[in-house]
Amino acid sequence: MKKQFIISKMFLVEEESPVSFVSEGIEVLFIVFFNFGYYLLITPFRIVKTFNDKSQPTYKLHTSKLQQILCVISHTLLLFQYFSESRTFFLANKWTTVRPAKYFDACGTLAKFFYKVFIVIVAWKDRDKFVKLANFIAQSSRLYIFKNQNIKFLKGFIYTFCTCITINATTDVIAQVIIINEGISMDWIFRRFVAVGRYNFFLAEKNDKSIAPTWNEITEFDIFLGFLTSLGICFRQRMSYLSDGIILVMSIVLSVAGKAFKKLVEENHQKNNMYDDPSVILRNFSAIKTLSLQVNSVMSKIVLMFIGEYLFYYSAHFNDILEVSDFMMSFRKLIFLLNICASLYFSGDCCKGVEDSMLSWISSVTEAGMSNILFSRGRVAILISEAKSHIVGISGGIFVLDYSAIFNFLATVITYWVVCSTSGGS
């Protein structure tokens, strides 16, 4: 009688005696990131580690009334700042002339605004999902894809990345209200904040970067508006970096697990026992599918708006990559460009690695004539379908960021940029 192997959907952790967890798992990457967001008043929570009776780590949400109040203020101010910038764009342009670049800019402006709105909603509504994700990785840490991961370099990278974006966000606040060629003056900076505040709160019709009110024209109420505006710009700059950063961090988390799965399959090939006990491969494949599902349950809408913003922006401003007239602005654009390139690379690499590894393993099992013995009927077809459909990967809800989608994205950007450039666009 043939032996059939059926794996339970919920059986993710290998049966081993409980052990003390001494090494950090890949969950620490996004935990560190959220901790930075917590102290920068962007995320209303942070994730802390506790230990149960078996000395196994569990994670829980940590927040406070004060933190929540401060984050309500920061989120209100930064969204109001984004709204003000969107209003500036739509009011400053004349829409009587049909120019493709202008309409791409309009779509990009709206995508950017809703992108940040979704980030704020996720930070408040779906924060428990991040804790659930961290606990899943910790509880499944005896699986190969999560076990003995050397993440010291990646953890150091996350710390460096967060420190750099904190510094850049601070300097960008000054860049928003000064004219670089005329130098930096604290008097001018403060009066410009007042001018921007008047515009943001509908007390002025225009926001000209070269104009600021004199001290004789400034009232106490203007000073209050200028203070709120300075905070709004500060939080807006922090959100700009952290919103893109969380996509990069989650892409790295999935990529690390994907590389570990690929290594597991390669080791099975080298030992020539890829069909002796398929439970090891299937458990790890089931775990990485669950990991991807949990990541996408909280990130899919954010990824959709993230891709939408950059699709519309680079379709009209692809040549901005080469512009260096304003050093601070060029440096800021370079940071965002590197961030999106890294996010796309890690996303595509994860999809490709898991797909190739799973198909290679299934092919080996099939060629050895063991597929009918090891699997129930139809199981092979299901595994092949899951691998080819990129069930593991960063998703935007209506697409998965595999290499095919990434190159289609790049081709679309270049095509529309040519159209915009030849139609009187920027």
List the single range of 158-172, 202-216, 325-339 with lowest mean pLDDT. Answer: 325-339
Amino acid at 281: I
pLDDT in tens, 252-296: 999 999 999 998 888 877 765 544 567 788 889 999 999 999 999
Residue 156: pLDDT band (50, 70, 90) is: confident
Task: Give how far Cα 281 sits from Cα of 266, 360, 363, Å.
Answer: 11, 12, 14
Q: pLDDT > 90: what percent of the chain?
A: 30
Query: What does the pLDDT read at residue 135?
Result: 92
Mean pLDDT over 301-319 rounds to 87
Tell me what the pLDDT averaged over the chain comes to: 81
At residue 177, does pLDDT exceed 70? no
Mean pLDDT calculated for residue range 164-170: 79
| Residues with Cβ within 8 Å of residue 57, at least 6 apart in sequence | 21, 49, 50, 51, 138
Q: pLDDT tens-digit profile of 112-137?
A: 899 999 999 999 999 999 999 999 99
CB 11 within 8 Å of CB 140: no
- Res. 97: pLDDT tops 80: no
CB 339 within 8 A of CB 248: yes
The more confidently predicted of residues 7 and 276 is 276
Q: Compute the average pLDDT of residues 77-104.
A: 80
Cα distance between residue 197 and residue 108, in whole Å: 24
The pLDDT of residue 368? 64
- Length in residues, the chain: 426
> 354: closest CA among 299, 304, 407, 400?
400
Taking a C-beta distance cutoff of 8 angstroms, is the pair 11, 283 a contact? yes
- Reduced to 3 states, what is the DSSP secondary structure of residue 126? coil
Q: Distance between CA 248 and CA 339 in Å, rounded?
A: 7
Q: Is 80 helix (H, G, I), strand (E, B) or coil?
A: helix
Question: What is the per-residue pLDDT for 375?
Answer: 65
pLDDT digits (tens, 9 = 90+) for 386-419: 888 888 989 988 889 999 999 999 998 888 888 8
d(CA 266, CA 148): 17
Q: Which residues of 208-247 are buried (b: 16+ CB within 10 A; e: fewer)?
A: eeeebbeeeebeeebeebbebbbbbbbbbbbbbbbbbbbb
Is residue 13 predicted with pLDDT exceeding 50?
no
Q: What is the rounded CA–CA span in Å between residue 188 and residue 212?
A: 7
Residue 269 near residue 205, CB atoms below 8 Å: no
For residue 18, what pLDDT band results from cuts at 50, 70 and 90?
Answer: very low
